[in-house]
Structure 1
Amino acid sequence: MRFYRHLTLLLCLSVSLLACQRQSKSKTEKQAFQVDFEKFTLDNGLTVVFHVDKSDPVVAVALTSHVGSAREKEGRTGFAHLFEHLLFLESENLGKGGLDKMSARIGGSGANGSTSRDRTNYYQTVPNDALEKMIWAEADKLGFFINTVTEQVLSKEKQVVKNEKRQSYDNAPYGHTSYVIDQNLYPKGHPYNWQVIGSLEDLQNATLEDVKEFYRRWYVPNNVILTISGDFDPAQAKAWVEKYFGEIKKGEKIPALEKKPVTLAQTKKLYHEDNFARLPELTMTWPSVYMYHPDSYALRTLATLLSDGKKAPFNKVIVDEKQLAGRVNMSQYGSELAGQFTMSIRGYEKVDLNNLHAAVEEAFQRFEKEGFSDADLNRIKTAQEVGFYNGLSSAQGKGFQLAQYAIFAGDPGFISKDIQNMLAVTREDVMRVYQKYIKGKNYVATSFVPKGQTNLILAGSQKASVVEEKIVEGAEEKFDASTQASYTRTPSSFDRTKEPPYGKTPETRVPNVWESKLGNNLKLVGITDREVPLVQFNLRIAGGLLLEDTAKVGVSNLLSELLLKGTKNKTTEELEEAIEALGASIGINASEESFNISGRTLARNYQPTMALVQEILLEPRWDAKEFSLIKQQVESQIKQQKANPNSIADNNFRKLLYGKNHILSRNILGSEGSVKAITLEDLKNYYTANLSPSLASFQIVGAVDQQEVINSLAGLNQNWKAKEVRLPQYPTPAAPTNSTVYFYDVPGAKQSVLRFGYLALPATHPDFYPAQVMNYILGGGGFASQLTQQLREGKGYTYGIGSNFSGSVLPGPFVIQSGVRSNVTFESADLIKQILQNYGPNYSAQDLEVTKGFLIKSNARAFETMGAKLGMLNNISTYGWPYDYAKRREALVQGMTVAKIKELAQQYVNANKMYYLVVGDAATQLKKLEQLGFGKPVLLN
């Protein structure tokens, strides 16, 4: 990804974007899904797929190249992902940073990209008046880009990609697991033997000619699919596609790669001492099948049956009975050429992985003995149906899936076959693939253990080959990112330097909101939305951590976990089965200021789903054994957080913001000591005293009307009695009058995690939204922001950086957060300080124009998905905002002036009145931070 998200998330693309097309009215297993798309091919080989959806005035544009890490050469790995970055930087007709600047002006979602083993994509959702602009910009990537790549550009982006690798892999617990697995599952020479992100050495050794050769080979029209989905005129769009893409030259013919499944001659066992791990982890991976292989569907179902839910044999043996781990993760991941079936189990502290492995064998034996029922299988199919509908919620999701099927199945309309294959899986299929691919077959086993705990590794394991980067001051090469490229322009039949005009301006569509109130004081707020046959809901009860005893923090979180472990009349297993049989999902979580029960279900099953919600809320089981298991799992989570630099930063920054006496300075999970001290009676007391409809609001979006919702809550209205609950009033901590640097030492950290800020405004403050407007160019605007432009694009110090105000009903923090290369910790902090000091004085009319363009135009896509609509209802019910607050904010932005922005910046982003927290390697970085001018840093550990 371009920023903040891990590349490994792309492993789930074929599942998470499983279903992105419309279906017929039939809802039986013999469904025939109607795929609405138009496909055509230009003379140069460019494949184009359109999908029209008029539900929102937005359009998603995606350019997908059939090239990933599998098309790279050994010794030159990471090129596909490097190009994912490079293609955003400059092109001949948009200029340096042109796409990001345009994205901000037109109200786009932020141009982004992702890379997998087999494809790279570039995508953005924009208001539909900007479609021609996006087609123009995407064509520039494909035909008018490579001349702009210079040695300086390449050097800078190498640093950004290396920072991404450090952040997502080298500086993260268990970050090297996939590297060790792939090195041993796929033989040398196999295109899946190396990682998508590549190696630091290969990235450093990449030459400009290497890069240009790679581009000319793979970034050609005949290897690319353009997908456009959303609200647009296909005839007009076709003319624009022909105009901007048609004259780009066709490349050499690219033959399809043959499937390359692998087999293992023997089981391989590897271990690694992980600097950031605090718990031992066992991962077992078997060779399986490629994407859309007939057996892939049964393997996916097998993974769910074995590991997911109370009834699953692995949960029964490993989690419940032997209590060796808190959960078991299992998945089938198919790529274009081969596939793998993986099981990962993070044991509790100091669990011997040999004992865990023995439990795995026992769980497999139990599965063979006990099997599973047709009801178990049907529950999974129902859940898959919900996943299918959920994929329909955004224009971008539809575009992604069209491209996915077009490339890897040869037909954008493969979705009908894909769903049929999924729903056609039988019990016999599942047992057959288990016998064929898993039972008694060789696998790769990895033991990742904390430093100094090799006594926990699987017997017979060999030390894995993992390259650990050393922290060396001044080791990175220098570059000048401001250097202008000199080149001969690529010829065109028309003037491509002129940005196309806007189309007809779309009007912000604020959904119709209805509101009601039950007799027990429960407030209702909803939106009827029948675009897909789904319903999403959230029951928010104010309180959460705020209502806890400071001596026993963690009660509300434990309660949120326990309420889903059965009801008065249902065991945990029976409750799970009841939920899954409806194709529903119900989740409960406690936050700092609320307790939430949320869910999603098929509209046809809404009433019985709400009956289960009522049963969960009003008839808890209070199962002592489940309570004990949950406490063990939470203690394990707390131990894991102690080794994760980002969690360390978040937990310590919270302490700085609120001070030791404020409840919000505590971790919502509690501490190891507090969790041990909490009893089941503590949970009952919290439940009885604090969960009241008087503090609650029910928010709902979907294919149900107001009266249906009111009827569905009749039981709650009658049986959930109102009682007065007073939220405690904590004094608001004062912001610092002078800046101080705090440092938390993580020896050997490859990155320093930064949290700079102070406690600022509540969401209800009149200045809250104006402050967000002010922050857009500072750090809230992604690639349009100064923090990103200077620290990432200008210096290559970081993979991602941003700033935001996050108030609620209580004052929340203004925070700047990032992970930077360890050996530029001081340089990064000093540059941030300079940016803050200069921000108000140097703010310009052009900055305001960009801010207005984005914040006003982006409202066209503000409520596209059900989740976005639900978020709108949460804002309305929690903060008392008017239904049309989005429209009112447009007027506020229109009236904003440069003088007002300068005033807000002076008041709310003062570099000399903040906490500066750094989590990193103290031995190499602590002393230099004295140069910031804020005194001697305070070492926190």
Structure 2
Amino acid sequence: MKALIAAAILALGLPAFAQQQEAKPLGPGREALTIPYEKYTLPNGLEVLLARDPKLPVVAINVWYHVGAYHEQPGRTGFAHLFEHMMFQGSKHVPDDVHIAMLEQLGANDLNGTTNFDRTNYFETVPTHHLATALWLESDRMGFLLDALDEKKLRTQQEVVKNERRQGVETRPYGVAQEKLWKTLFPAPHPYHGKIIGSMEDLDAATVEDVKSFFRKWYAPSNATLAVVGDFDPREARALIEKYFGSLPGGPKPEKPEVAPVKLTGEKVLRHEEKVGTLPQVMMSWLSPPYLSEGDATADVLANALGTGKSSRLYKRLVLEKGLAQSVSATQQSLGAQSVFTIEAVARPGVSSDALAQEIDAVLEEVRREGMTRQELDRARTRFETQMLAGLQSVGGFGGKADVLQSYNHYRGDPGYLDEDLSRYDAVTPEQVRDFAREYLEPDARVVLHAVPVRKSPISAAKEIR
């Protein structure tokens, strides 16, 4: 049978592809999360993931370029995010600024692009009968974007991104403070230094040749993965992918930067004069294990149990019992090279950031000493599984099936890693949480930032109102 399939592929002129991956059996109650898929690679290096889901007559197209802020050079930050904008501005065979309009006219939804430190992605969900058009649009900007990139387009998008930075960082409450903390966690020239959006100076300094060189290196088919998920005919989809993507020039896959892990050897306390937020805020951050590595799931569960929902440890103590904070959160920001565990709390009027920090430390000391209850951890696990199940109801969009396959493929090289991922959370015990807090959440291995609002005189306040 395998020989017949291979012969049919050769007869059709289609690329040889890997044997279909059997969906790994999941535990009782998780059968709905199974995603059968195929994975193969075109001769030019483009990876392809196909997953058929015929429940609705729609299909998701999701392209991941394996490049993010981590892959940028000092003095040339923000390029990955800049291309998130440039990729919607037109290519050789698509007129300027009509890419989105064409998809919307087809009835597309879940249409977007995002950038993080580790990757950039673009995705849309279209009615099944418009699969060919959506694939063509993606292939044209992959292969022919530079034919339409000129000085005017670059300068226009530079200004758009700079304005986005003003709104998202410089005029956002605590935005500058968060950037200052992050830069302290990852000192230059570490590629995680700064914001994904880049700095104003680097955005201004970028030239057309700079961005073209970045695109040629990182946006080649050999550094990309295409996922097609939904109601489609696999034979037709493979033929369309070969037609639109197979002719694009290949090239060697670019090498990922080799960067040594950062290690904090003491506590660093920063005092920031907050000019936008009106209440004191305290932020504490520790370096933690990379995404999907040992300890990452423990950090996720601990963060959720500490700071998500009114039953969480920090919310109960700081907001309900002590009345010190009006909001509090804890997160594990999982990244490919090294993750960050952060606790943030905004004070109530009249409460200092120092008082918040003291109470946070008291809660953390309890966790280091005693761990957390199994009931607390079970609530956190349930939240994760519920969130995962909700996302997998969709073929596309944020957290949909295409996105999940892409994420596991990017970070593990295994699109079918779902069962192993869920098992990581099942295995977290109260003892592991306690040990994690002792090993990683040490008081002398963190950055603490106090964002204290600047007191304005009545005269300066009146000037601002005018």
Same fold (TM over 0.5): yes
The one-letter code matched in structure 2 to 1:448 is A
Secondary structure of residue in 2 paired with 1:363 = helix
Matched, 1:335 2:335: yes
CA distance in 2, matches of 1:27, 1:208: 54
Q: Tell me whether 1:47 sits opposite 2:47 in the alignment.
A: yes
Question: Paired residue for 1:102?
Answer: 102
> Does the 8 Å contact 2:89/2:97 carry over to 1?
yes
Aligned to 1:140: 140
1:421 CA drift (Å): 1.2
Give the whole-Å Cα distance in 2 for the aligned partners of 1:225 and 1:196: 21
Report the CA distance between 1:252 and its aligned residue: 2.9
Aligned to 2:437: 434
1:59 and 1:126 in contact (8 A); partners too: yes
The reply to whether residue 364 of structure 1 matches residue 364 of structure 2 is yes
The residue type equivalent to 1:431 in the other structure is: R
Q: Deviations over 1:697-743 (max 9, x none)?
A: xxxxxxxxxxxxxxxxxxxxxxxxxxxxxxxxxxxxxxxxxxxxxxx
Output the CA distance in 2 between the equivalents of 1:299 and 1:408.
18
Q: Using the alignment, how far apart are the partners of 2:35 and 2:176 within structure 1?
A: 40
**Which aligned pairs between 1:326-725 and structure 2 lie closer than 5 A?**
326-396=326-396, 397-452=400-455
What SS is found at the alignment partner of 1:173?
coil
Which residue number corresponds to residue 317 of structure 2? 317
Q: How far apart, CA to CA, are the structure 2 residues paired with 1:298 and 1:79?
A: 33
Amino acid across the alignment from 2:361: E
Cα distance, 1:278 vs structure 2:
0.9
Q: Distance in 2 between matches of 1:98 and 1:216?
A: 23
In the alignment, what sits opposite 1:293? 293
SS in 1 for 2:175: coil
Pick closer, same or farther for the CA change 1:173–1:427 going to 2, 3 Å.
same
- Rounded Cα–Cα distance in structure 1 between residues aligned with 2:82 and 2:283: 29
Which residue identity lines up with residue 117 of structure 1 in the other structure?
A: F
What secondary structure is seen at the aligned counterpart in 1 of 2:439?
helix
Q: Which runs of 5+ in 2 are unaligned?
A: 1-21
1:436 aligned counterpart, secondary structure: helix
Taking a change above 3 Å as real, the CA distance of residues 141 and 211 of structure 1, as seen in their structure-2 partners, is same
| TM-score, structure 1 as length reference | 0.45
Q: Which structure's CA Rg is the greater one?
A: 1
Please tell me whether the aligned partners of residues 268 and 444 of structure 1 are also in contact (alpha carbons under 8 angstroms): yes
Match in the other structure for 2:120: 120
Q: Distance in 1 between matches of 2:145 and 2:118?
A: 22
Shift of the 28–170 alpha-carbon distance from structure 1 to 2, 3 Å rule, reads same
Query: For residue 651 of structure 1, what is the aligned residue in structure 2?
Result: none
Partner Cα separation in structure 1 for residue 461 and residue 294 of structure 2:
47
2:265–2:444 CA contact under 8 A, matched in 1: no
Q: CA deviation at 1:26?
A: 4.0
Same amino acid, percent of matched pairs: 36
Change (3 A) 1:341 1:166: same
Partner of residue 27, structure 1: 28
Please name the residue that 2:186 is paired with.
186
Give the SS at the match of 1:326: strand
Matched to 1:56, the amino acid is L
* Residue 197 (structure 1) shift: 0.3
2:455 partner letter: G
Aligned to 2:8: none
Q: Secondary structure at the match of 2:325?
A: coil
CA RMSD after TM alignment: 2.4
CA distance in 1, matches of 2:129, 2:40: 23
Letter in 2 for 1:270: L
Q: C-alpha displacement at 1:36, in angstroms?
A: 0.8
Relative to structure 1, the CA distance from residue 747 to residue 47 in structure 2 (aligned partners, 3 Å threshold; closer, same or farther) is farther
Question: Could you tell me how far 1:310 is from its partner in structure 2?
Answer: 4.8
1:262 matched to 2:265? The reply is no
Offset from partner CA, 1:338-392 (integer Å, 9 cap, x none): 1110000001123111211111222123334553332332233233322221121
SS of residue paired to 1:446: strand
Q: Secondary structure at 1:435's aligned position in 2?
A: helix
What is the CA deviation profile of residues 637-656 of structure 1, one whole-angstrom value per residue up to 9, with x for unaligned ones? Answer: xxxxxxxxxxxxxxxxxxxx
Cα 1:32–1:106, aligned 2, differ >3 Å: closer, same or farther?
closer
Q: Deviations over 1:751-801 (max 9, x none)?
A: xxxxxxxxxxxxxxxxxxxxxxxxxxxxxxxxxxxxxxxxxxxxxxxxxxx
Structure 1 spans left out of the alignment, 5+ residues: 1-20, 454-744, 749-920, 924-941
Closer/same/farther in 2, CA of residues 137 and 374 from structure 1, 3 Å limit: same
Could you tell me how far 1:177 is from its partner in structure 2? Answer: 3.1
Matched, 1:308 2:308: yes
1:649-705 alpha-carbon deviations (Å, 9 max, x no partner): xxxxxxxxxxxxxxxxxxxxxxxxxxxxxxxxxxxxxxxxxxxxxxxxxxxxxxxxx
Question: Aligned letter for 2:445?
Answer: N
After superposition, the Cα gap between the structure-2 partners of 1:34 and 1:104, relative to the gap in structure 1 and judged at 3 Å, is closer
Checking the alignment, whether the CA contact within 8 Å between 1:258 and 1:337 is kept in structure 2 is no
Query: Are the structure 2 counterparts of residues 426 and 189 from structure 1 closer, same or farther at C-alpha, using a change threshold of 3 Å?
Result: same
Matched-pair contact (CA < 8 Å) for 1:100–1:110: no
1:7-26 counterparts in 2 under 5 A? 26=27
Cα separation, 1, equivalents of 2:383 and 2:454: 40
- Equivalent residues, number: 439
Q: Give 1:294 shift.
A: 1.4
**1:68 partnered with 2:68:** yes
Contact 1:23-1:33 within 8 A present in 2 as well: no
Q: Structure 1 CA distance, aligned partners of 2:53 and 2:416?
A: 16
Aligned counterpart, 1:665: none
1:232 paired with 2:232, answer yes
Q: Secondary structure at the match of 1:67?
A: coil
Cα distance in 1 for residues equivalent to 2:163 and 2:291 = 31
The whole-number CA distance in structure 2 between the counterparts of 1:100 and 1:33 is: 31
Q: 1:102 to 1:316 in 2, by over 3 A?
A: closer
What is the DSSP-based 3-state SS (H/G/I as helix, E as strand, rest coil) of the residue aligned with 1:412? coil
What code does the residue aligned with 2:131 have?
A: L
The whole-number CA distance in structure 1 between the counterparts of 2:384 and 2:353 is 33
Say which is worse superposed, 336-345 or 375-384, in terms of deviation: 375-384
C-alpha distance in structure 2 between counterparts of 1:385 and 1:23, whole Å? 17
Question: Offset of 1:250 from its aligned partner?
Answer: 1.2
Output one character per residue of 1:888-938: Cα deviation in whole Å (capped at 9) or x when no partner. Answer: xxxxxxxxxxxxxxxxxxxxxxxxxxxxxxxxx776xxxxxxxxxxxxxxx
Partner of 2:83: 83
2:102 partner SS: helix
Q: Could you say what secondary structure the match of 1:89 adopts? A: coil
Which amino acid counterpart does residue 410 of structure 2 have in structure 1?
Answer: I
TM-score by length of 2: 0.89
**8 Å contact 1:278–1:349 — kept in the other structure?**
no
